Amino acid sequence: MYNFKTTAEPFARGFINCDSDNLSLKTASGLYSAAREMPLTISTKTGLPMAFWRDMYVSFGFGSGVSVDYNGLTKAAEHFPELAEDFLFIRDTMSPHDTGNLLSAAFDPREQNICDSHAIWGGTWVGHAVPQFSDVAKYGTDALREKVETYRLSNPGKDEFYNAELLMLDAIDVLAERFFALAREILASGSLNEREQAKISRLAEVLETGAKKPTEDFFTACALYVMIFTFDGIDSPGYFDQYMIGFWRKTEISRAREALYDIWEFFHDTRTWNLCIGGSDENWNDLSNELTYEILTTAEKFGYQTPNLTMRCHRNTPEKLLRRAAQVIGTGIGMPTLYNDEAVCPALERLGIPPKDSHLYVMNGCNQIDIQGKSHMGLEDGEVNLANAVELVFTNGISSTSGLKIGLETGDCGDFDTYEEFYDAVLKQLDYLTDAAVSRANQSQKALAEGSPQPMRSLFIEGCLEKGRDYKNSGPLYGHGQILEEGISVAIDSLAAVKKYVFEEKRFSLRELKAALAADYAGYDEIYTLLKNSPLRFGNDIEYVDSIGAELIDHFNRYLTTKKTYRGGYYGGGCSPFNRAASYGRTTGALPNGRKKGEPLFSDSIGALPGNDTHGPTALLKSCLAFDQTLPTSGFILNIKFDKTLFNTQKGQDAFLALYRAYFGGKGQQLSVTVVSRDDLLDALAHPENHRNLIVRVGGYSDYFVNLPRELQDNVIARTSY
């Protein structure tokens, strides 16, 4: 036991002074200590209790594990010499447990070059999940204690793990007690106005009895949820309409609605990730309920960009719900994003997940797919830049931006006689990069399994208590993984160009093209003009291009399902670029689609490059349907844009629903619909090449915005109000 003088750093002190070597128990002790001592906040706006991690150099979160601010502690020792010994001791004892340090030690240097050249990344994100925190409101911590004890009996020799779990329940109880005391303190301070008074009183009232017993009240359920959710680090609420409906129905409607608005504000203020509604059960019965509609109305009312609202759709989604969702999308908030059970469930079942659980899928993070309360699989384990796989064939394995060897030596491509030889080399490079990403991801999973337990999450994800294993250590029922694919359309367009212009029309040789790319097209004007103006672009429903795309993408997605995760599952593909789409362009050399080195022309989803899809939304959707979308097990994002005025007419809404039915009917996986604002139109004026596909209402018809004469464009812009 170390005798600390400082009263700061409760997590570190609890961790260090835990009288055991077991990491689960140490971490739980740290978390308990933090719950007992960390500063707490109650929002006077929403009346919700928030256990944010702040004012600590050593902290813990779902997405970072243990996080040690080495420099901060060093400086603190300098500023507070009387506490220096404590801070330095904390710094040196906790640093080995810092997730970043754990991972650096774990990664094999052989893959470092590939990561440094940005052809892949893997294992650097600790990851999202959707723990079933609402169990606390539903059962109460006493009942959960019994559950822990029941499983302890069937898993002898794992006492420390189960003791850690009991400590987590103690942490929840202590947080509830402390929030109750804090609420009383704030009320007594007399500093509140009437509205704030009411909000805080409401909280004090429900926390008086703590978290030990179950509740039926919707507000109480929201409060307890937020308390644990913030303590955990603010991840994704999952299918809120499903697990909260019981509470909703037992609560007086105006109280329930007020609570819903409050938690919505909370989700917005904390930039909460994905909240999902709707869906089907394994018999394709529709699961939407009155709360589904209330959430849509709430999202529409507030118009916030977060939480990211997603809706699951299937063959029996009520027409009324679809139309309501379309209306909300039409307000311009770009939500809900639509997911297709008909494509996602088969993809999950391919991994071995039975239908009763595949139909419990939710989205987390931006767009990853997870099984609510049962899995640790909805995170980006890694990513591969498909365009680099093409590039490496021309450079014989050398990155043209970093100069490092990052791929295979597939030989001097100038010697290839057929397209098949060339394509085969591309696949070899692609598989090699994929193997590297998988290897990296598995190294990370192993390091985190051994060194970074998360006892709080282990309580709320099925499989952990049952097996006596931590959430990061193959506890969850499902531990599949996701390796994402980027640069899809660039790769496809490049392959199509090589097949057509080199091997079929023989306009120039592969050797000449290789030289042109190495020179970044300097001095190769004729080749550059031809490739730049090529009409063979993905996204235009051109069978020649789309079939090349389907083969490439299906190969990647299928290859992944043969790769195992360290966590005890299999990998699957997906496309969810988040904010990386532009940066990948900077680290990719010149390519046969007429793209020069470094140009940030990367599609922000599975769709065409900006400006390349010039044949309208039907052609874009048809091209995307060429992929087998029952293969990717992570979100396979497609972004489409409509003009706001068109979208909000009866015709526009009908047309959108017809597009949706055709796309999802053809097993498209996902649709991210945005309705363009005035700013987009202004950008279309300045950069028409990026908005060639934007359709707007003009007079009594629709036309491409960028084709309109200037005066009319001004007119359309003036009309758009947003």
Partner 1 sequence: MNGIIFNVQKFCLHDGDGIRTSVFLKGCPLRCKWCHNPESQRAAPELMYHQNKCTACGSCVGVCQAREEIVPDRTKCVACGGCVDICPNNANELCGKIVTTEEVMAEVRKDKIFYQTSGGGMTVTGGEPSAQPEFTLSLIRAAKNEGISTAIETCGYGSPDFFRRAAELEAVFLYDLKMMDSDRHKALTAVSNTLVLDNLRMLMNMRADITLRLPLIPGVNDTSGDLSALVSFLKENDGRFRHAEIMPYHTLGTGKAAAIGRTAAVYEEGEKFTDCWLKTFEELGYKVFSSK
What is d(CA 108, CA 440) in angstroms, rounded to the nearest whole number?
8
Which of 541, 604, 613, 680 binds partner 1 (CB under 8 A)? It is 541
**HSE, side-chain direction, 13 A CA sphere, residue 141:** 21
Q: Count how many Cα atoms sit within 13 Å of the Cα of residue 340 in the half-sphere of its side chain.
A: 25
Which of the 8 DSSP states describes residue 563? P
Alpha helices in 506-542 (DSSP H): 510-518, 525-532
Q: Which is nearer to partner 1, 295 or 681 (CB)?
A: 681
CB atoms within 10 A of CB 701: 7
Report the C-alpha gap between 146 and 213 in whole angstroms.
12
Is residue 547 a contact residue for partner 1 (CB under 8 A)? no
* Burial tier of 153 (Cβ tally within 10 Å: 0-12, 13-18, 19+): exposed
Dihedral sign for Cα atoms in the order 268, 272, 273, 279 = negative
> Min. distance of Cβ 661 from partner 1 in angstroms?
4
Of 167 and 621, which CB lies nearer to partner 1 in the complex structure?
621
Using the rule CB under 8 A, is 687 a contact of partner 1?
Answer: no
Measured from the CB atom, the residue of 94 and 696 that comes closer to partner 1 is 696
Work out which of 209, 285, 305, 649 binds partner 1, going by CB under 8 A: 649
The residue range among 143-151, 283-291, 377-385, 645-653 that interacts with partner 1, by the rule CB under 8 A, is 645-653
Interacting span for partner 1 (CB under 8 A) from 66-74, 174-182, 294-302, 653-661: 653-661
Residue 701 parent element (H or E): strand 701-704
Closer CB to partner 1, 110 or 651, in the complex: 651
Nearer to partner 1, 365 or 549 (CB): 549
Interface with partner 1 (CB under 8 A), residue from 188, 417, 709, 721: 709
Shortest Å distance, C-beta 243 to partner 1: 33
In whole angstroms, the minimum distance from the beta carbon of 492 to partner 1 comes to 18
Query: Minimal distance in Å, beta carbon 639 to partner 1?
Result: 17
> Closest separation between CB of residue 531 and partner 1, Å?
14
Is residue 652 at the binding interface for partner 1, with CB under 8 A as the rule?
A: yes
* Alpha carbon distance 522, 525 (integer Å): 7
Instruction: For the CB of residue 715, give the shortest distance to partner 1 in the complex, in Å.
Output: 9
Q: Per CB under 8 A, does 662 bind partner 1?
A: yes
Closest CA to 423 of 513, 608, 552, 592: 552
CB of residue 599 to partner 1, shortest distance in Å: 20
Q: Residue 664 in contact with residue 313, Cβ under 8 Å?
A: yes
The full DSSP string for 309-343 is: EEEEE-TT--HHHHHHHHHHIIIII---EEEEHHH
Footprint of partner 1 on 489-528 (CB under 8 A): none
Q: How many residues bind partner 1 (CB under 8 A)?
A: 33
* d(C-alpha 510, C-alpha 535), whole Å: 20
Shortest distance (Å) from residue 463 CB to partner 1: 41
Q: Which one of 95-103, 376-384, 510-518, 654-662 is the stretch in contact with partner 1 (CB under 8 A)?
A: 654-662
Interface pattern 606-635 for partner 1 (x via CB under 8 A): ---------xxxxx-xx-------------
Minimum separation from the CB atom of position 648 to partner 1 (A): 11
Min CB(585)–partner 1 separation in Å: 25
Angle at Cα 660 formed by Cα 659 and Cα 662, nearest 5°?
65
Angle between helices 419-451 and 543-560 (to 10 degrees): 30
Rounded to 5 degrees, what angle do the CA atoms 441, 442, 445 make?
Answer: 90
Among 12, 695, 696, 706, binds partner 1 (CB under 8 A): 695
Contact 363, 310 (CB under 8 A): yes
Q: Which residue blocks in 42-158 are alpha helix, DSSP H?
A: 70-79, 84-94, 99-106, 112-116, 135-139, 141-154
- Mark the segment that binds partner 1 (CB under 8 A) among 23-31, 113-121, 159-167, 647-655: 647-655
Residues that bind partner 1 in the complex, under the rule CB under 8 A: 529, 541, 615-619, 621-622, 646, 649, 651-652, 654-655, 657-659, 661-662, 665-666, 695, 698-703, 708-709, 711-712
